[in-house]
A and B are shown apart, each in its own frame.
Chain A
Amino acid sequence: EAGVVQSPRYKIIEKKQPVAFWCNPISGHNTLYWYLQNLGQGPELLIRYENEEAVDDSQLPKDRFSAERLKGVDSTLKIQPAELGDSAVYLCASSLNLGAGTGELFFGEGSRLTVL
């Protein structure tokens, strides 16, 4: 069974340019997460989807970040315009929705962004 697939794995852009990351979760997982991981830090939640609905986007910087999961399957995270401080790894994860949850999230390999 395929795991969580993310692309691109690496992206280098100049500041003020736009960038988009794509994630395809594990088949049947209705909950999808985008996490931000800065160097030397643990992942921090940006947004969580239940199917196509964003149920927790309180940590998403909405002035420059946007996300969508139109059909409740794959998802795109966009940054426009990118800033130097956005250099980080963007992680996508998925899970089954089990109410209070088991905590078992399945992570992709991440998309490493470098902003010059």
Chain B
Amino acid sequence: GNSVTQMEGPVTLSEEAFLTINCTYTATGYPSLFWYVQYPGEGLQLLLKATKADDKGSNKGFEATYRKETTSFHLEKGSVQVSDSAVYFCALSGGYNKLIFGAGTRLAVHP
């Protein structure tokens, strides 16, 4: 069945450091891939998405590229800020908006 595996947290970084959160997936067919973010005290919200191989999703300085050959969708940001502290979830959709989420990775950014 479809599944998502992402790196365990917490990830602790200093402000302006480079961020990578790894995500790999197992799926039949050609799923769409997503990163959702949950800021403290808020609901999950879509951060970025990619719907086909080699697509790059980007938003708020974050990027992720859909790599079919390595079944990966790693999240990156060149310079993190304290306000990026949150839990990040990788997810895939096999259709009809049925999302399958990874376990989440907590990011803590310190000044």
Contacts and interface: CB of A to CB of B under 8 A. Distances in A.
A33 B45 CA distance: 14
A101 B95 contact: yes
Contacts, number: 71
B93 A101 contact: yes
Interface in B59-105: 89, 91, 93, 95-99, 101-104
A90 interface: no
Contact of A42 (B32, B51, B93, B104): B104
Q: Give the most central of B4, B97, B99, B104: most A CB within 10 Å.
A: B97
Nearest to A96: B97
B89 A42 contact: yes
A102 B42 CA distance: 22
8 contacts: A42-B89, A42-B101, A97-B97, A98-B97, A101-B97, A103-B34, A103-B99, A109-B42
Interface of B: 4, 32, 34, 41-46, 49, 51, 89, 91, 93, 95-99, 101-104
